[in-house]
Amino acid sequence: MSRFSWAAWGLLVVVLDLPLLGWDVLPDVVGYIWLVVGLAGATHMAFVRVRAAAAAGVPVALVTGTPLFVGQDGLIWGAVFIEILLTVLILHQLATAISDLAPEGDQDARRWARAIRIGAPAAGLVRLVGLVGLSTSVGALYALGYLGLVAVGIITVVLLHRVNRAGWLDLAEPDPV
């Protein structure tokens, strides 16, 4: 399995939250680590930002994906807030790298990357508004934003697999330093 496949599978684990008795069945910690491993050696600055965000997501996922912090609502709320921001950053920067590195003939990849760069922040904003107003009538936006981020995440996973199979990510010129 190529390194970008690891990143794609890691992203899928991160965007899908399946809670069971306080534990995340698909642990985000594993997904974040797979993202870091999958993008190791990638030199495009957007990939570097994704690796940094994924590394920052590991301790955050320990708070949000385990029942170890039950009763510490402020800590959990803050961790969920940070996790939403990290997810948006990861999706946006993956799409940025794909858009920047796509060969001229692959307008399809650029079009999907552009949609992801718009959809991820929009869904993240809806989820953040829902999180802030969770105990009010706008709390339903939290679930809507979650579904939006899952949809954008799955589209990003499919796009990552597609460009990985095409092989042009491996052939991309490194950024000049």
- Report the run of H or E that residue 167 belongs to, with start and end: none
Task: Quote the mean pLDDT of the chain.
Answer: 90
pLDDT tens digit sequence for 122-148: 999 999 999 999 889 999 999 999 999
- Report the run of H or E that residue 109 belongs to, with start and end: helix 107-132
Three-state SS across 17-64? CCEECCEECCCHHHHHHHHHHHCCCCCCHHHHHHHHHHHHHHHHHHHH
pLDDT tens digit sequence for 158-177: 999 999 888 877 655 454 44
pLDDT at position 66, please? 80
- The tokens 């954008």 sit on which residue? 152
